[in-house]
A and B are shown apart, each in its own frame.
Chain A
């Protein structure tokens, strides 16, 4: 709507505007060097590294078991996904066969975590464009998921729950019933979010047609997860390369359709997340109904000492495709561990899709990409 293509009509000097690293709208300690022409952005340069905690250097000095809490702290809004993906990589390296019950529990917690993470994404995106009430609502509902996780393992944010070869605790009594109660409560809430935020006229005007990410550009930049699916592809590892027990469940992959504007705009990226929460709830229900019995500590290895070799494993987290590249030389500590973080690649596309827009639209685009700086800076 406001995209200015013909720059020759504006004769003003370019100015460098610094945004962050301490800024409420940059979702953490991200600094944006914005080169502007008046109010129009001509280039955005993300400056990252303010939260760099030497994750990969630490991993070269820690045994495989000790790395799990570190992975939790990478993406602190979806800790379960990080430790799950890391555990999957180690299991692939060691050829561990897991009991069925462990896989089901992992799927249940991963999907609950996905809902919790998307609730933050949806609420914070509303906050970025000026809607304050939905944020308090989504946090209120996320609190119930955190309560469930507290029941499960005692922690509310950083769980250290999924271990290579199993999980730390079995499901507590009543967990299944409480989770069903939560889902009964939660699904009608999504309709309320839709009424108050998704279909709000001001919200649509701020987000529809803004920051369109074409599919080929997204693929070229390595964008993944909901941000890429909003551009009109159904690329999702849970369907394409089913890991764990995802092939046993019936669910759909929401894809951006451009209902309010163009396919791949900020509104689509937002709405794909709303729809994904419904699908996750569906998976949780199916998994809880068919969860088998068994011992969750059965396959835990006494010591983790993989043989020489390399592994690259992929996992669909709330933000996209998490990859762990682990190189082992036969010791109990990895020789090299690299984490491919989805938000890192998603953020690199920011310059491409937000140049040519207003400064306030940069905030909209950034909010719709749903970045977590803990994972970008590692």
Chain B
């Protein structure tokens, strides 16, 4: 049985495996903590290595997404999991399972404003703590002022 069959068998309607994109879509974000526990601990899965969490903006004004890339160092398998959800949806944090998620989730919060539940230390990581907005969102507008200093828009300022 392949990984996709096991997962669709186990979680039925809350997941969907896309052959075309070769990834697992989680339809119900609140189920993600149960599913993540399963793919970490089940002996057919053993995805112990979390490589990357990438946030993305679907550019339709409503939805954000998260792509998790897992690999298993024992079974040499690979899995991509994607969750797509509306703004301000809370996503269960996977930091208790994979400590690698800690900084990646902080980065997703910093740049996309994705909210994670149960994260031990949620704060900005790359940008200053007092930054306003989340710059990688497609609806982000470059501010005209930063702390009273005008942000030059005209290239003649620096060229």
* Genuine A/B complex: yes
Of residues 308 through 360 on chain A, the ones whose CB sits less than 8 Å from some CB of chain B are 309-310, 312, 314, 321, 323, 325, 327, 329, 335-336, 338, 340, 344-345, 348-349, 352
Does B48 interact with chain A (Cβ within 8 Å)? yes
Is A52 part of the binding interface, using a Cβ–Cβ cutoff of 8 Å? yes
- Say yes or no: B49 contacts A219, CB within 8 Å: yes
- Could you tell me if B49 and A222 are in contact, using CB atoms closer than 8 angstroms? yes
A310 to B100, alpha carbons, bound, how many Å? 22
Interface size on A, residues (CB 8 A): 34
Given A56-B111, A348-B100: A336 touches B80 (CB 8 Å cut-off): no
User: A348 touching B99 by the CB < 8 A rule?
Assistant: yes
In the bound assembly, the distance between CA atoms of A377 and B103 in angstroms comes to 12
> With a CB–CB cut-off of 8 A, which chain B residues contact A344?
103
Residues on A with beta carbons closer than 8 Å to the beta carbon of B23: 310
B26-68 contacts to A, CB under 8 A, are: 48-52, 54-57, 59, 67
Contact at B49–A325, with CB atoms within 8 Å? no
Quote the shortest CB–CB distance from B119 to chain A (angstroms).
Answer: 14
The residue that A49 contacts in the complex, of B21, B49, B126, B136, with Cβ under 8 A, is B126
Indicate if B76 sits at the interface (CB-CB under 8 A).
yes
Q: Knowing A48-B125, A48-B126, A57-B135 are in contact, say whether A221-B54 is a contact too (CB < 8 A).
A: no
Say yes or no: is B98 at the interface (Cβ < 8 Å to chain A). yes
Contact present for B128 and A49 (CB under 8 Å): yes
B127 at the interface (CB under 8 A from A): yes
A312:B100 contact, CB within 8 angstroms:
no
Rounded to whole angstroms, the CA-CA distance of A329 and B60 in the bound complex is: 13
Q: Do the beta carbons of A335 and B59 come within 8 Å of each other?
A: yes
Q: B102 within 8 Å of A by Cβ? A: yes
Bound-complex Cα distance A245 to B40 (A)? 33
In the bound complex, what is the Cα–Cα distance between A312 and B71 (angstroms)?
12
Let me know if B69 and A325 touch, CB within 8 A: yes
**Contact A336-B51, Cβ < 8 Å, known A48-B125, A348-B99:** no
Q: Is A235 an interface residue (CB 8 A)?
A: yes
Shortest B66–chain A CB gap in Å is 11
Q: Which of B64-120 contact A (CB under 8 A)?
A: 67, 69, 73, 76, 80, 98-100, 102-103, 111
Q: List the A side residues contacting B135 at CB < 8 Å.
A: 54, 57
Q: Which of A54, A240, A327 is close to B56, meaning CB atoms less than 8 Å apart?
A: A327
B103 touches A345 (CB 8 A): yes
Query: Quick one: closest B residue to A240, CB to CB?
Result: B76
In the bound complex, residues from chain A placing their C-beta under 8 Å from that of B98 are: 220, 222
Residues of chain B within 8 A of A81, CB atoms compared: none
Contacts of A240 in B (CB 8 A): 76
Q: Which of B21, B99, B111, B135 lies at the interface centre, i.e. has the most chain A CB atoms within 10 A of its CB? A: B99
A118 at the interface (CB under 8 A from B): no
CB <8 Å contact, A222 and B100:
yes
Whole-angstrom CA separation of A56 from B52 in the bound complex: 15
Contact A57 B136 (CB under 8 A): yes
Closest to B57 in A: A336
Interface size class of B (residues with CB under 8 A): 20 to 34
The answer to whether A338 and B51 touch across the interface, beta carbons within 8 angstroms, is no
0/1 string, B1-41, CB within 8 A of A gives 1? 00000000000000000000101000000000000000000
CA distance A48 to B102 in the complex (A): 14
A340 in contact with B73 (CB, 8 Å): no
B48, B56, B80, B127: residue with the most chain A Cβ atoms closer than 10 Å: B56
Which single residue of chain B is at the shortest CB-CB distance from A335? B59
Interface string of A9-50 (1 = CB under 8 A from B): 000000000000000000000000000000000000000110
Q: Is A233 at the interface (CB under 8 A from chain B)?
A: yes
Q: Which residues of A contact B73 (CB under 8 A)?
A: 219, 233, 235
Please state if A52 and B126 are interface contacts (CB–CB under 8 Å): yes
Contact yes or no, B48 A323, CB < 8 A: no
Instruction: Flag if B67 contacts A49 (CB, 8 Å).
Output: no
Residue of A nearest to B67 (CB): A325
CA–CA, A48 to B124, complex, Å? Answer: 10
How many angstroms from the CA of A56 to the CA of B67 in the assembled complex? 16
Interface residues of chain B, those whose CB is within 8 Å of chain A, are 21, 23, 48-52, 54-57, 59, 67, 69, 73, 76, 80, 98-100, 102-103, 111, 124-128, 135-136
What are some 23 contacts across the A-B interface (CB < 8 A)?
A: A49-B124, A49-B127, A219-B73, A220-B48, A222-B51, A222-B98, A240-B76, A310-B67, A312-B69, A314-B51, A321-B51, A325-B52, A327-B56, A329-B59, A336-B57, A338-B56, A340-B54, A348-B99, A348-B100, A348-B102, A348-B103, A349-B99, A352-B99
- Known contacts A52-B126, A352-B99, A377-B126, then 10 further A-B pairs from the complex at CB < 8 Å, ordered by chain A residue: A49-B126, A222-B49, A222-B100, A323-B69, A325-B52, A329-B59, A335-B59, A344-B103, A345-B103, A348-B99
